[in-house]
Amino acid sequence: MNRVAKITIAAAFTSLAFAGVSRAESLGMNSAEGIEQTLRTFQGNFDVQPVYNWHNLDDEDTGPRSVLQRPQSAVHAIQASIDANKSLAHKLNNDGVNIRNVVNAEQAADGSITFYVR
C-alpha cells in the first residue's frame, strides 16, 4: 500500500508541474506579440465572429463584450501578420473575410483562432 501511495503522490506532482507549464505558456498567447507570432505561422482551424460596433459597448449589436479592444496599431499588426501567412490569408479570403476588416484575433485553449471582424 505504501508503494501505491508513493506512486499516486508522484503522479499528482508531475501532473501539477505540467499543468503549470501549459498555463504559463498560455498567459501570453493572446498578448499583442503572442497573437501576431501565432498568426504568422498558423495552419489550424478558425472561426469568424462579427463585431458590429467596436467603439460603442452600449450598443446591443456589439457582439462579444469579453473581446479585448486593441489599439489601432495592434489591429494593423494583426492584419500584417495575417498578410505574412499567405495560406491563412487565402483561407480567410475564401471564407469571404477581408483582412482589412479584422479587428482582433484570439487563440483558444484548443489552438483554434477566432477572428473578430467589423
Query: What is the per-residue pLDDT across 60-87, written as a single tens digit (0 to 9) for each?
Result: 555 555 566 788 999 999 999 999 999 9
Cα–Cα distance, 108 to 118 (Å, whole number):
20
Cα–Cα distance, 24 to 28 (Å, whole number):
8
How many domains does the chain divide into?
Answer: 2
Summarize pLDDT for 85-104 with one digit per residue, the tens: 999 999 999 999 999 999 99
- Return the H-helix or E-strand segment holding 51: none
Give pTM, 2 decimals. Answer: 0.67
Based on the domain organization, do 41 and 62 belong to the same domain?
yes
Based on the domain organization, do 41 and 20 belong to the same domain?
no
Q: Give the whole-number percent of the chain exceeding pLDDT 90.
A: 48
Range of the domain at 48: 31-117
Cα–Cα distance, 1 to 52 (Å, whole number):
61
Q: Residue 118 — very low, low, confident or very high, per pLDDT cuts 50/70/90? A: confident
Based on the domain organization, do 53 and 89 belong to the same domain?
yes
Quick one: angle between helices 32-41 and 72-84, nearest 10?
20
Cα–Cα distance, 19 to 66 (Å, whole number):
25
